[in-house]
């Protein structure tokens, strides 16, 4: 059904540790990729915010809306002038 590509097989065989670790030899590569992604989400600013700034703000908004829905808080509406 699927044809194996000799080029892909060759590139995968370039990664050392095949006899000792098997397919787990790719684990450090993906661990490093995940670390780089996490660092980017924490430190790289797009506009004025990082990913975690947006996450914290949205989480705070959800908690506030949930408290209003539960009746624990009353929304302060500005008085009509």
Report the predicted TM-score, pTM, of the whole model to 2 decimal places: 0.58
Locus of tokens 């949930």: 66
Residue 1 above 60 pLDDT? no
Helix (H, G, I), strand (E, B) or coil at 49: strand
Compute the distance between CA of residue 22 and CA of residue 16 in angstroms, rounded to an integer. Answer: 10
pLDDT in tens, 22-37: 889 999 999 999 999 9
Q: Read off the pLDDT of each residue in 56-64 and give the average, rounded to a whole number.
A: 93
């Amino acid at each position: 059904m699927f044809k194996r590509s000799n080029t892909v097989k060759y590139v995968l065989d370039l990664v050392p540790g095949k006899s000792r670790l098997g397919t787990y030899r790719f684990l450090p590569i993906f661990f490093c990729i995940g670390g780089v992604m996490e660092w980017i989400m924490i430190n790289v600013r797009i506009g004025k915010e990082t990913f975690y700034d947006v996450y914290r703000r949205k989480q705070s908004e959800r908690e506030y809306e949930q408290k209003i829905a539960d009746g624990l808080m009353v929304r302060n509406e500005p008085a009509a002038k």
